[in-house]
């Protein structure tokens, strides 16, 4: 079964609508912050699923014209896509999902959300997981925790006490506070583990800075 959705819709709402219709395939995305377009742009994933697995085609805008791009030309990879590489804007997407009992779909969604609540700081504002996994078997959150940085604060930004792979806003956090924490983590992980961390979040700086 196929679903056509505007890319501005929130992932959470889209997952709920699909569950009500008995459409399976997006359960892993329930609870990932952001929109459908953003999730496709970075090939968001969790619990063994990724957006690239359910996307059939995407309508994009390149600054001059819009065009449909099929999945096999979208260059999906780990937190990567053609949209990200070429800075394309996602307008609309066709998703290929499977029919299932609505109760089964909702049950899986609730299970994934429960796991997130147990392990992630969903009670505080954040942009989700900050860093990409540099290689199989290297867990960034555990590495940060081993360096004693869990709970470390700069201004209103804090390395989460619940999951060190998240930076949360405990009140009044500024852009610079978060960047300083990211730089600190990258520096310490490189120094202690000889591992270079890349951010999973997109960092946009003003051209005036």
- Of residues 208 and 66, the one with the higher pLDDT is 66
200 annotated active-site: yes
Question: Which of 79, 108, 126, 158 is an active site residue?
Answer: 79
Task: Please give the DSSP secondary-structure letter assigned to residue 48.
Answer: T
Please write the tens of the pLDDT for every residue from 72-95: 999 999 999 999 999 999 999 999
Whether the CB-CB separation of 1 and 97 falls below 8 Å is answered with yes
In angstroms, what CA-CA distances link 61 with 58, 75, 84, 103? 10, 17, 12, 37
- The Cα 145–Cα 176 span in angstroms is 22
pLDDT at 24: 98
- For the chain, how many residues are written? 209
pLDDT at 38: 95
In angstroms, what CA-CA distances link 83 with 68, 87, 97, 124, 159? 12, 5, 22, 29, 30
- The Cα 139–Cα 144 span in angstroms is 9
In angstroms, what CA-CA distances link 131 with 3, 103, 199? 31, 34, 4
Span(s) in the chain for CATH 3.90.78.10: 121-193
Span(s) in the chain for CATH 3.30.465.10: 2-118
Question: Which of 35, 81, 129, 160 is an active site residue?
Answer: 129
206 annotated active-site: no
Rounded mean pLDDT, 114-122:
92
pLDDT at 128: 87
Does the 121-193 domain belong in CATH 3.90.78.10? yes
Grade residue 207 by pLDDT with cuts at 50, 70 and 90. low
Rounded mean pLDDT, 187-191:
97
208 pLDDT above the threshold of 70 = no
Q: What is the pTM of this model?
A: 0.84
- Residue in 32, 11, 35, 14 with CA at minimum distance from that of residue 23: 14
6 annotated active-site: no
pLDDT at 114: 94
122 pLDDT above the threshold of 70 = yes
Please write the tens of the pLDDT for every residue from 156-180: 999 999 999 999 999 999 999 999 9
pLDDT at 203: 87
Range of lowest pLDDT (121-130, 153-162, 166-175, 200-209):
200-209
- The Cα 48–Cα 26 span in angstroms is 11
Does the 2-118 domain belong in CATH 3.30.465.10? yes
């Amino acid at each position: 079964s196929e679903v056509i959705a505007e890319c501005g819709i929130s992932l959470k709402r889209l997952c709920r609508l699909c569950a009500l219709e008995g459409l399976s395939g997006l359960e892993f995305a329930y609870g990932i912050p952001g929109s459908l377009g953003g999730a496709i742009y970075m090939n968001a994933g969790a619990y063994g699923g990724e957006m690239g697995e359910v996307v059939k085609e995407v309508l994009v805008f390149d600054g001059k014209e819009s065009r449909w791009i099929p999945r096999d030309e979208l260059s999906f990879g780990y937190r990567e896509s053609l949209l990200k590489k070429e800075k394309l804007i996602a307008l609309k997407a066709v998703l290929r999902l499977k029919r299932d009992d609505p109760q089964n779909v909702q049950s899986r969604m609730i299970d994934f959300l429960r796991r997130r609540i147990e392990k992630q700081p969903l009670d505080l504002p954040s942009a989700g997981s900050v860093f990409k996994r540099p290689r199989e078997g290297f867990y960034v959150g555990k590495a940060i925790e081993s360096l004693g940085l869990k709970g470390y604060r700069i201004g209103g930004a804090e390395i989460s006490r619940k999951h060190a792979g998240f930076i949360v806003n405990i009140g009044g956090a500024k852009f610079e506070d978060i960047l300083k924490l990211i730089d600190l983590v990258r520096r310490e992980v490189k120094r202690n583990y000889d591992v270079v961390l890349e951010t999973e979040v997109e960092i946009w700086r003003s051209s005036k800075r």
